Structure 1
C-alpha cells in the first residue's frame, strides 16, 4: 500500500513540475517554490510514519523500504535539478537552491534582488527621496539597455534605443537634481537636517564613481552622449557646493546705495552669515562625509571664490565714496582674515586671499584716487571758509597770531594728512608712502589756490585784516613745509617748491599793497608843502606801526626778512623822492629841511626798530643826506661825502648830483664836489656790496655833463 502511494506521488511529479513552472521567478507571483515545499513536506511525513512502525532492524521489509527510499530520493533530486534548469533558478539574477539531505530540506537565502521598475515608477521614488533605491533601479535599466544594444537588438530600430537612453539620462539628471537639493538644504535648513539623506547622497556618489561601465568610452560616445560613461558626480558635487555658496552670498540683503551705511551693513551681514554657515559645515556636515571629500575645505574655497566674484562684480561696479572704499579695502585686507571671520578659532583659515594681486592693486589705486578727490574737496572747503571770513571782516583770534600751533590752517591740514597716512598704513603698509605723496601733491595745489584767492581779494587795501591773515598763512605754510621736506620724492619736492613759491608770492603781494598805500604819501615829501607840514610822512609812519605790527608774529626764517624789507622799503621810498630833483632849497630853507629830514629819519628808524629790523646800515642814510644839505663849506661837504661813500659804496654820481640839486648850491661848487666824488670812486674802488641801497634807487633825470 505504501509503495503504491509513493508511486502515485512520484507519478504526479510531472504535473507538479508544470505547476512549478507557472510559479517561476519571472512572474514575481507569491506561489514561487510551492511545489518543492509540498514535496518536501510529504516525503518528510512518510519518513515519520516509517519510524513509527515496530520492526526489527534486520527485517527484510525494513531493508526493502530503505532501498526504495534511496531510489526515490535520487530520482527526486534528478527531477529537481531538471526542473531548476527549466526555471533558470540558478541564474545569476535569481538563485534559490532547496536541497534534501538525509530527508531534511535545506534552503539557501537568495541575495537582494535589484528591482526592474518603469520610468514613471523610478521618477516617483526619486520624488519621494528614495534615492538609493532609485539609483539601483536606474543602474539596472541602464545595464539591461547596454546588454541589449551589444546583442544588436536595436540595429533595426536605432530610434527606440535612443529614446530609452534618453529616459535613462533623464532619470539620472532627475536623481542628481534631487541630490543637489538635499546638499543645498543641508546648509540652509534651520531645523534639524536629515542626516540620512546626506549619507545617501554620499553613498550614491561613491557608488557611481566605482561602477564598472559596460561600454568603453569610445563606444559609449558613439551610442549616446552620456550612456555608459562616468558621470563624475563627485566633481559635480563640488560644483553644487560652489553654486550653493554663491547663492548664500547673493542672498545677503544689500540696501540701496542712497543709504549712507549700505555697504558697511552689507559687509557686516556677509561676515556673520558666512561664519555661521562654515561653523555648521564643520560641526554638522563634515562628520557625514568621508575625509577624502574635504567638505569643509571645499565650502571654504567656494565661499572665498563666491565672495571674490561678488565684490568684483556687484560691489566694485557701483560708485563708491572714499569712506566706502576705505571700509571695503579694510574688509578685504584685514577683517576677512581676522578672528571674527576666517581667522575664527573654529575656522582658522587665514592663508586664503580674497582677491588676486591684480585686483587688490587696482583697488588700492582706486583708493588713492578717491583719497585725492577727498583731499581736494576738503581743502577747497577750507579756501571757501577763508574767503567767507574775509568777506565778513572776521579778524582771526589773536592766539593764532601769537602761537603758530593754534593756526587753524596748519592744524586742519596737519591733522587731516596725519590721519589719512595712519589709516592707510593700517590698511596696508605699502599704502603709507603713496598716501603721503598724494597728500603732498594736494598740499601743493591748495597753497597755490589759497594764495591766488587771497591776493585777488586783498588786491589794494592795506589793512590790519590783510596783514593778520597774511601772517597766519605764511606761518602755516612754513610749518607745513616740514613734512614734505623730509623726502626727496617728486611729490614732496614739488610741495616744498609750491610752499616756497606761495610764501614768496605773499611777500611780493604784501609789498605791492604796502607800496601802493604809501606811494601817494611819499610823493608829497620833499616839496614846498612838506616844509610846512608833516601830515603825509606821519601817515606813512602810522600805517607802519599799526598795520605792520603783526609782522613781528612771523616765524623764522621769514620774520626778519619781512621786517628788514619793510625798513628798506621805507628808506628807499624816502630817498627816491630826493632823487627825483623836484625842488632846490634856498639858503634859508636848507636848515629847516635838514631838521625835518633828521627828525623823519629818526621817526622812521624808531618805527622799524619796534618791528625788529636788523638792517642797521639803513639807519644813517637819511641822516647823512640831511647833514650834507645844511653844510656850506666845501671841505665839510667833502668829509660827509667820504662817510656816505664808505657807508654806501653803491651810491653813484647821479645820486650825489641829485643831493646837490636838492641842496641848491652853485654850479661851480657843485662841479668841484662832483669831481671830488669821482676821485673817491677812482682812488678807492669798492667791490659790489652785499647790502645794497642806492643801486636800487633810480634817478628821474640823468646828467651827462656839467
Structure 2
C-alpha cells in the first residue's frame, strides 16, 4: 500500500529523537525546539493554518520554559505572570487538540488531503501521552481522538439523503438503504486510505466500526421519533435485522432496548392499522347495503363477501411480513388480530341488523336480497373460521375463542333467516286443517312456493351451515304443519276424515320430495305423515288401536293430549272407542317407559 510522503515511521522517529543537547537545547532531526517560544498569537496562527509541527514545537518550548520558571519559584504561590502563562499553555493545548480533532473528524471525508496531518496528529497524541503528569500537560488525548472519529462518522451519516414525505412515500426505506451503503463505503475508505496513517495500537478500524455502530444507533433513534406509519416501522426493523451489513450487525450498538422499542411501536401501529381496516370494512359493507348491491359469488356459485377475503389476506400479510423479522412478533400480532375480530364481529352484526332491516319492509326483490346478504355472511364467516386454523398451533386459545364467537354469529344469522321464514309462512300455515283447507290448496301452495324460493337460495350456502339450515327449515315446516292438528280448529264429519287423510298424505309426500331435493337429513320425520293419515282416515274405529304401535314407537314423545287432538280432528263424534284408544295409548306409553329416543318432535309442539 502506498504511503504518504512523510511516513508513520519517519514522523515517529523524528519525535522519538527528541533529546537534550549539552546546551540544554531540544532537537528533532536537527530542528531545535526554540529556546524562546513564539507568542501566543503566533502559535494560535500556526494552529489555525494547520502548521502542527511549528505549533507543537513552540508549545513544547513554552511548556519547558513554564516548568523551569515554576521550579525556580518552589513551593510558594506562583506569581500572576506564571499563572497567566500556565493558562496560556493550557488554552493553546486545548486549541491544538480541537484542531487535531477537526482534522480527524474530516479525515474520512478528505483522506488524501489530511494524511500527512494525521501522522502529526498521531504522534502528538503519543508524545502527550508520554508526558502525562508533567506540569502543564493535559489528559484525554486518545479519548478526544475517538470522539473526533465518532463526530466525523456522525457527519457522514447526516449527509445521507432523506426525501420529504410529500416527495416519496417510501422515503425512509430508500434512506435506510443509502445509510447502509454509506456505512460500508465509509469503512472501506478507512481500510484503504486511513490505516497507513496510524500505528497498530490505535486499533483504527475497530474504532471506526464501533463509532459507526454507535452513530447508526443514534440515527435510528432520531428517525424513530418521527415515524408514525406501519411501513416505516417495518423499514427500521428490516434495516436492522436484514439490510444492515451482515458482517457488522453483531456489534451494532444502539441505545438499550431501542430494538424492542421499535418492535413494540410496530405492534401498536399494526394493531391500530388492523382496527382501522376493520372499521373501513364495515363502512364498505354499509355502502353495499345502502346501494342494495348484490353479494359476490365464488367461481363455484356460492355467495360470499369481500370482508372475509380482505380480513384473511390482511392477517396473512401481517404474519408473512413479520416471519422475516421475529417469530414472537408474528404470534403477538396474529393473536391480537384474532382477538380484535371478536370485537369486529359484534360491531358488524349491530350495523348489519340496523342497516338491512328496512329491506324486509320493501318488495320481494329486496327481501330476497336481505336473505342473500345473510347467506353470503354465513358462508364468509365459515370460511374465515376454516382459514384461521393455520394459527391454531401458536394461538390456540384465540382460535378457539374466535370459533366460538363465529359459530354464535353464524347461528344467529341462520336463526334470523329461520325466524323470517316462519313469519313468512305462518299466515298460510294457520289456514291448514280447516274446512277451507279441505276445499282448496291455496295456502299450501303459498307454503311450498316459499320453500321453493329457499331451496334455490340454499344452493348458494356452503356446508355445514347449508345442511343445518335445510334441516331447520324442514323441522319447522313439519312441526308447524302437524301443530295445526293440535289446535282443534276443525273436526271432520262423516267421510270427510277420509278426504282429509288423503290430502294430508299427498301434501306430506310433496313436502318430503321438496326436502329430499334440498338435502335434508331428517329422514325420521318422513313416516309421521303416514302414521297420522292412517289414524285420521281409518274407517274402522276399533282398528285405530293397532295404528298406535308404530306411532308411539317412532315418536314416543307424543302426549295423550296431542293424540286426543288428532282423534278430535278425525271425528269429534268419535267417543265410544276413544276411551279404549286412549287406554291402549296409555299402556303403550307405560311399556315404553323413559327409554331415550334419538329424536323429539311432539315435545316442541305446544
TM-score > 0.5 by shorter chain = yes
Q: Aligned residue for 2:487?
A: 580
Q: Report the TM-score, using the length of structure 1 for normalisation.
A: 0.75
RMSD: 2.8
CA distance in 1, matches of 2:584, 2:64: 134
CA distance in 2, matches of 1:437, 1:157: 76
CA distance in 2, matches of 1:377, 1:94: 78
**Does structure 1 residue 201 correspond to structure 2 residue 121?**
yes
Q: Aligned residue for 2:174?
A: 265
Equivalent position SS for 1:445: helix
CA contact (8 A) 1:333 1:428 kept: no
Question: Structure 1: where are the runs of 5+ without partners?
Answer: 1-88, 96-108, 216-226, 337-341, 699-706
**Does structure 1 residue 541 correspond to structure 2 residue 448?**
yes
2:526 aligned to which of 583, 597, 619: 619
Write the mapping of 1:503-522 to structure 2, written as runs, cut at 5 A. 503-522=410-429
Write the mapping of 1:59-78 to structure 2, written as runs, cut at 5 A. none
Alpha-carbon shift at residue 451 of structure 1 (Å)? 3.8
CA distance in 1, matches of 2:368, 2:516: 19
Report which stretch shifted further, 275-284 or 460-469: 460-469
Change (3 A) 1:187 1:546: same
Q: Aligned residue for 2:583?
A: 675
2:59 aligned to which of 134, 138, 142: 138
**Does structure 1 residue 561 correspond to structure 2 residue 465?**
no
Q: Aligned residue for 1:596?
A: 503
* Deviations 1:344-396 (CA, angstroms, capped at 9, x unpaired): xxxx4342235467332232222222222222333333333333223333333
1:125 aligned to which of 46, 49, 52: 46
**Does structure 1 residue 469 correspond to structure 2 residue 373?**
yes
Change (3 A) 1:600 1:110: closer
CA distance in 2, matches of 1:130, 1:683: 122
CA contact (8 A) 1:649 1:686 kept: no
2:295 aligned to which of 389, 392, 396: 396
How many residues align? The count is 573
1:384 aligned to which of 262, 283, 289: 283
Q: Aligned residue for 1:428?
A: 326
CA contact (8 A) 2:195 2:205 kept: yes
Report which stretch shifted further, 148-157 or 587-596: 148-157
CA distance in 1, matches of 2:257, 2:140: 33
CA contact (8 A) 2:557 2:600 kept: yes
Larger radius of gyration: 1
1:444 aligned to which of 315, 335, 342: 342
Moved >6 Å (runs of 4+)? none
Question: Structure 2: where are the runs of 5+ without partners?
Answer: 1-20
**Does structure 1 residue 607 correspond to structure 2 residue 514?**
yes
Alpha-carbon shift at residue 137 of structure 1 (Å)? 1.2
2:108 aligned to which of 187, 194, 214: 187
Q: With a CA cutoff of 8 Å and minimum separation of 6, indicate the structure with the bigger relative contact order.
A: 2
CA contact (8 A) 1:286 1:296 kept: yes
Change (3 A) 1:251 1:119: same
Write the mapping of 1:61-100 to structure 2, written as runs, cut at 5 A. 91-93=23-25
Alpha-carbon shift at residue 655 of structure 1 (Å)? 1.0
CA distance in 1, matches of 2:368, 2:600: 30
Change (3 A) 1:177 1:609: same
CA distance in 2, matches of 1:316, 1:398: 44
Alpha-carbon shift at residue 253 of structure 1 (Å)? 4.0
CA contact (8 A) 1:653 1:677 kept: yes
Change (3 A) 1:407 1:366: same
